[in-house]
Chain A
């Protein structure tokens, strides 16, 4: 039984190699073995090869969406189909333009790896801690005289040499693996992931997320029929999503919906297919292209700049102070109200 991971890899190989692989496979059957062994596909491969609709290449199709930002003169916009989730068998509505500096960047797999590893590790706090010889209880006294007893000389019964003694170089306390990659590297990682999805035919642009029924089978059927893959990540902008799609994706493990600010490299690599709405594409292009034309930050970008929408500094300080007081009071009251009865007296006596 081929695992899903291997199946994904084979699909990816199919998507990239295309017809040339089949041609080479035939030539290897005739005894020439031109194809290296890692690219030869087994004849009993499970799963239908996807019937890929050719990418829109002719220029006579009406373009339903042009890029807002200026495209450099030597580059042409990437194009892909605009689809609809309205019905299972609906044809693509047309062609959309995608900005080449977001969807056709050079594929730097090293940057993608670095961003993925960072995403996994920067949040990690390992709580492993073992007692050293100072912390293990006991061991203050010299067990026997230095000379005369005939036994080896020791200073304490809890040294690392002893059974039951402390660990010499063990993990010490909660340790953090926090580090930050430069902002531009993380932005480039997102652009490369989007480019990779588009290049491997796993990116689908959708006009809106309205589906006719809140039935999960409808969406699963649609995904299977259109051969979008095993897992789908749906991205939209804004606070409100249509109720149907929310209900459908709530209990599904493989089809997930996130707002556009939550788009990250790990989720894009984890899910096989990425579905963006037109609004999400506009938002992502705007945010990711800004990093190509921005100054180095004089002060953090969270604070107001003349062309960035931000809270005012004054309001932020007031809100911050209020929030600190609220958190402190709530912590104190929760501690007092939820402590066991025999402790409440002692907690109340502590100075607040």
Chain B
């Protein structure tokens, strides 16, 4: 019942639209008013529409001029793997809470996370002279380190080839 009413009103509406467009001088077809229609210029609109995918960066041997270092083609032979973020950067982030609690977050870790934890602790022991407390989250694959070490950790991971 309502379906037939709906289809009836659909045809009525479409007929009304067509009739309105044919008789209203403002919306009559452009050709009848002496204009030439062309769709060639639509490419200027199309090229403004942004893409949805992040492009893969072009191949660089060594660091790019901006300072970005690509991951090595073969993954390093370590028991763990750290993927790049979706913008192709090393996933090391600095965090701050309550204005004075600094921590460093290491994300996107796959494989043996405890081996990486030991590695990171040894590295920071050599760097600062004391072992920083770390929090290992096996389920999410993240390590949170007390203190701000993001630059040093990023450089170390880039040197390793992640």
B50 in contact with A330 (CB, 8 Å): no
Q: Is B46 an interface residue (CB 8 A)?
A: yes
Convert A296-320 into 0s and 1s, putting 1 for each residue whose CB lies closer than 8 angstroms to a CB of B: 0110010011111000000000000
B75 in contact with A73 (CB, 8 Å): yes
Known contacts A74-B75, A74-B81; A333/B9 CB under 8 A? yes
Distance in angstroms between the alpha carbons of A304 and B50 in the assembled complex:
9
Across the two chains, which residue of chain B brings its CB closest to A328?
B9
Q: Is A125 an interface residue (CB 8 A)?
A: no
Q: Is A346 an interface residue (CB 8 A)?
A: no
B5 in contact with A305 (CB, 8 Å): no
Known contacts A73-B75, A325-B13, A338-B1; A306/B6 CB under 8 A? no
Binds A, one of B51-59, B95-103, B145-153: B51-59
Chain B residues contacting A304 (CB-CB under 8 Å) are 49
A306 in contact with B51 (CB, 8 Å): yes
Chain B residues contacting A337 (CB-CB under 8 Å) are 1, 5
Across the two chains, which residue of chain B brings its CB closest to A297?
B52
Chain B residues contacting A72 (CB-CB under 8 Å) are 83
Distance (whole angstroms) from the CB of B40 to the closest CB of chain A: 17
Across the two chains, which residue of chain A brings its CB closest to B9?
A329
B54 in contact with A294 (CB, 8 Å): yes
A329 in contact with B13 (CB, 8 Å): yes
Chain A residues contacting B54 (CB-CB under 8 Å) are 293-295
B49 in contact with A334 (CB, 8 Å): no
Q: Is B86 an interface residue (CB 8 A)?
A: yes
Q: Is A144 an interface residue (CB 8 A)?
A: no
Convert B62-103 into 0s and 1s, putting 1 for each residue whose CB lies closer than 8 angstroms to a CB of A: 000000000001110000010100100000000000000000
Distance (whole angstroms) from the CB of A226 to the closest CB of chain B: 34
Known contacts A106-B139, A294-B53, A307-B51; A330/B83 CB under 8 A? no
Distance in angstroms between the alpha carbons of A7 and B5 in the assembled complex:
51
Distance in angstroms between the alpha carbons of A315 and B74 in the assembled complex:
48
Distance (whole angstroms) from the CB of A201 to the closest CB of chain B: 23
Known contacts A306-B46, A308-B52; A326/B6 CB under 8 A? yes
Interface range, A side: 20 to 34
Q: Is A215 an interface residue (CB 8 A)?
A: no
Distance in angstroms between the alpha carbons of A286 and B5 in the assembled complex:
41
Distance in angstroms between the alpha carbons of A28 and B86 in the assembled complex:
51
B10 in contact with A326 (CB, 8 Å): yes
Chain B residues contacting A221 (CB-CB under 8 Å) are none
B2 in contact with A334 (CB, 8 Å): yes
**CB < 8 Å neighbour of A295 from B8, B52, B75, B139:** B52
Distance (whole angstroms) from the CB of A284 to the closest CB of chain B: 18
Distance in angstroms between the alpha carbons of A237 and B1 in the assembled complex:
32
Distance (whole angstroms) from the CB of B115 to the closest CB of chain A: 15
B86 in contact with A322 (CB, 8 Å): no
Distance in angstroms between the alpha carbons of A306 and B43 in the assembled complex:
12
B13 in contact with A326 (CB, 8 Å): yes
Chain A residues contacting B31 (CB-CB under 8 Å) are none
Chain A residues contacting B1 (CB-CB under 8 Å) are 334, 337-338
**CB < 8 Å neighbour of B49 from A74, A106, A293, A305:** A305
Q: Is B26 an interface residue (CB 8 A)?
A: no
Distance in angstroms between the alpha carbons of A326 and B16 in the assembled complex:
12
Distance in angstroms between the alpha carbons of A64 and B13 in the assembled complex:
52
Chain B residues contacting A327 (CB-CB under 8 Å) are 6
Chain B residues contacting A333 (CB-CB under 8 Å) are 5, 8-9
Distance (whole angstroms) from the CB of B160 to the closest CB of chain A: 13
Distance (whole angstroms) from the CB of A40 to the closest CB of chain B: 28
B51 in contact with A305 (CB, 8 Å): yes
Across the two chains, which residue of chain A brings its CB closest to B3?
A330
Q: Is B128 an interface residue (CB 8 A)?
A: no
Q: Is B39 an interface residue (CB 8 A)?
A: no
Shortest Cβ-Cβ A-B pairs, 4 listed: A329-B9, A74-B75, A305-B52, A330-B6
A-B contact pairs, 12 of them (CB 8 A): A74-B81, A292-B86, A294-B53, A294-B86, A295-B50, A295-B51, A295-B53, A305-B49, A322-B13, A326-B10, A327-B6, A334-B1
Known interface pairs A74-B81, A295-B54, A297-B52; 9 further A-B residue pairs with C-beta atoms within 8 A, sorted by A's residue number: A108-B140, A293-B53, A305-B50, A305-B51, A306-B46, A326-B13, A334-B1, A337-B1, A337-B5
Q: Which A residues contact B (CB, under 8 angstroms)?
A: 72-74, 106, 108, 110, 290, 292-295, 297-298, 301, 304-308, 322, 325-327, 329-330, 333-334, 337-338
Q: Which B residues contact A (CB, under 8 angstroms)?
A: 1-2, 5-6, 8-10, 12-14, 17, 46, 49-54, 73-75, 81, 83, 86, 110, 139-141
